[in-house]
Amino acid sequence: MNDTRRSTLAVLEAADQLLSSVDHTQRQTLSCEERVHLMRLARRVVERMATLSHVLIDEVDQANAALPATGTPITSLIALDEHRDNKEAASQVFHASAVNKHEAARDAALAGDISDRHAAAISRAMAELPDGLTPLARKRAEEILVTKAGSHTPRQLGRLAPAVLAEVAPELIPDQSAEANATEARRARAVARRSFQYGDDGDGSVWFRGSLPEAEATPFIRSIEAFVERDRRAARNRERDLRDAGAGPAEFREQRGVDARRTPAQRRADALVELSRHVRDTPTTVGDRPRLVVTVSLDALQSRADGAGILPSGDKLSAGELRRLCCDADLVPVVLGARSEILDVGRSRRLVTPAIRRALSLRDRGCVFPNCDIPDTGCDAHHVVPWIDGGETALSNLALLCPHHHALVEPDRARRREDRWRLWIDEESGRPCIAAPRRLRESGADSRSVSSPPGRQPRREHAHALAV
């Protein structure tokens, strides 16, 4: 059998020349079926070329070839060659490393069986598998993931590590505490990656780029989606009004053309503008929070929310995130029984109302943690006795805490008692009091010092509590 394989250089040069010789006018006479076939074929070729490009990027990076060949590191070289910014070029190098990391996934992507994004997702899933996995089991896991890539999106594929582990090495499935630690670690990585950037594109627009942890991003996405859906309803209503008014075909075409000319991305951009207008007009301290549906088992809820909740996207909330959301997010907990049947759906009336929020702002004026100067606009309403433990959503059971100190004060059974801060409402004054952990007091640290931000009176009840 003749070996028809060619060098990488020969193939790429031939592909470049062939693309230059395409007769674009020939497509004018194609049938619908032929056009769809061409589209699919072109996308398959693009996927294969993208994989080859990323493999070559990683090979150059691994060989450290860019610097001696061009006097320029690979990230800067890509940025200069393709007129990208350095961060975008660095993300390309990082993605290339993931694509080229596992042989079976890389070869499947080079063959066009899966995309480069699926190959990168397989790398993420493989990284979630325990270190104690044997080489044979690890190889089998990669083969399963490559097979599943044919029926899963890259995002779904990256979450299949637990299911794959159950298939190749069920004895290594982590216990509940280990899974909770993994969820917390995932949350920590997401928080570390958070970013928001914007800048002038030089042509009258501003570009945005960023990343948010799932728990913080979900309410934002839901708000955008709500405005998009409202916009779609408005378009349907306009068409209905035209129909009721007996409009002619020309008027219908004109109206439909106006709505159809906007892409989904443009609709979301318009929704973001509408959202910013509403945020500007309605302070978040007295307005409604975006509603977030979290699925949690009845056992987990009754065990003080120490189990993780599930967002609509399928992502897990850590126990700490779930406890904090129970305090002040517009959270609708869908409670599931042992067989995942819905037992109860919470109502927003259990949450902090605008009136209570205003009273909290007047009373606490900001984060009640000692020496914290975060104003009320940057604080959460913390339930002293957690709602999941029967605590009331009332001024006598609430205090303002900034997100950082909210996470510190929120009851956590995983934290040793001597490491916990304690918060309560003084019956006589009706104001929050806070006590430092016993271990902190015993360490000799100056945990009694209290300072007040400009414009606030010293919180003497804090000093009294800390002195206890």
Predicted confidence at residue 373, as pLDDT, reads 75
Q: Which of 47-51, 248-252, 383-387 has the highest mean pLDDT?
A: 47-51
DSSP 3-state assignment of 310?
strand
Question: What is the Cα Rg of the chain in Å?
Answer: 28
Reply yes or no on whether the pLDDT at 447 is more than 50: no
Tell me the H-state helices in 149-263: 154-157, 161-168, 176-192, 214-244, 249-260
Q: What's the pLDDT score for residue 300?
A: 57
- pLDDT tens digit string along 65-122? 998 888 888 888 898 888 888 788 889 999 999 999 999 999 999 999 999 999 999 9
Counting every residue written for the chain, the total comes to 468
Cα–Cα distance measured from residue 92 to residue 114, given in angstroms and rounded to the nearest whole number: 18
pLDDT of residue 57: 96
Position 412 scores a pLDDT of 63
Highest-confidence segment of 123-127, 215-219, 410-414: 123-127
Burial (Cβ within 10 Å: 0-12, 13-18, ≥19) of residue 307: buried
Provide the pLDDT confidence category of residue 223 given band limits of 50, 70 and 90. confident
Structure confidence at residue 450 (pLDDT)? 36
- Weakest mean pLDDT among 253-257, 383-387, 425-429: 253-257
- Identity of the highest mean pLDDT range in 26-35, 52-61, 458-467: 52-61
User: What's the rounded mean pLDDT across residues 24-40?
Assistant: 91
What's the token pair of residue 464?
Answer: 């009294």
How far is CA 66 from its chain centroid? 34
Among positive and negative, which fits the CA dihedral 177, 179, 183, 185? positive
The helices-and-strands tally (H runs, E runs) of the chain is 20, 11
Q: Provide mean pLDDT across the span 39-46.
A: 93
pLDDT value at position 230?
81
- Ranking 197-206, 216-225, 344-353, 424-433 by mean pLDDT, the lowest is 344-353
Residue 109's pLDDT is what? 95
Q: Is the pLDDT of residue 456 over 80?
A: no
Residue 10 per-residue DSSP state: H
Strand partners, 434: 423
Question: Using CA atoms, how far apart are residues 324 and 386, in angstroms rounded to an integer?
Answer: 9
Q: What percentage of the chain has pLDDT greater than the value 70? A: 74
Most confident of 340-354, 411-425, 452-466: 411-425
CB 108 within 8 A of CB 101: no
- Average pLDDT score over residue span 23-45: 91
Q: What's the mean pLDDT in 390-413?
A: 80
pLDDT of the residue at 318: 64
pLDDT of residue 115: 94
The phi-psi region of residue 113 (left if phi > 0; otherwise alpha if psi is between -120 and 50; otherwise beta) is alpha
pLDDT of residue 95: 94
Give the mean pLDDT of the chain: 78
Percentage of the chain beyond pLDDT 90 is 30
Q: CA-to-CA distance for 154 and 145, rounded, in angstroms?
A: 11
Q: Is the pLDDT of residue 291 over 70?
A: no
pLDDT beyond 70 at 419:
no
Residue 437 has pLDDT above 50, yes or no: yes
Say whether pLDDT at 9 is over 70. yes
Please give the model's pTM, rounded to 2 decimal places. 0.48
| Separation of alpha carbons 284 and 299, rounded Å | 33
Top pLDDT among 4 and 8 is at 8
**What residues does 331 pair with on adjacent strands?**
292
Nearest to 333 by CA among 306, 360, 311: 311
In the structure, what pLDDT confidence band is assigned to residue 261 with cuts at 50, 70 and 90? confident
Q: Of 441, 363, 370, 373, give the one whose Cα is nearest residue 409.
A: 370
| Dist. CA 63–CA 81, nearest whole Å | 19
**Contact assessment for residue 275 and residue 224, using Cβ atoms and an 8 Å cutoff:** yes
Which segment, 61-75, 105-119, 217-231, 366-380, is predicted with the most confidence on average? 105-119
Residue located via tokens 């007295």:
286
What pLDDT, on a 0 to 100 scale, did the predictor assign at position 23? 92
Q: Please report which confidence band the pLDDT of residue 225 belongs to, taking 50, 70 and 90 as the band edges.
A: confident
* Residue 422 confidence class, pLDDT cut points 50, 70, 90: confident
* Predicted confidence band of residue 462 (pLDDT cuts 50, 70, 90): very low
Write down the pLDDT at residue 108. 95
Q: Closest Cα to residue 328, out of 291, 374, 280, 295?
A: 291
pLDDT reported for residue 340: 42
Query: How does residue 285 score in pLDDT terms, banded at 50, 70 and 90?
Result: very low
Greatest mean pLDDT among 4-8, 44-48, 238-242, 261-265 lies in 44-48
Q: Angle at which helices 103-110 and 135-148 pack, to 10 degrees?
A: 30
Q: Which of 128-132, 143-147, 407-411 has the highest mean pLDDT?
A: 143-147
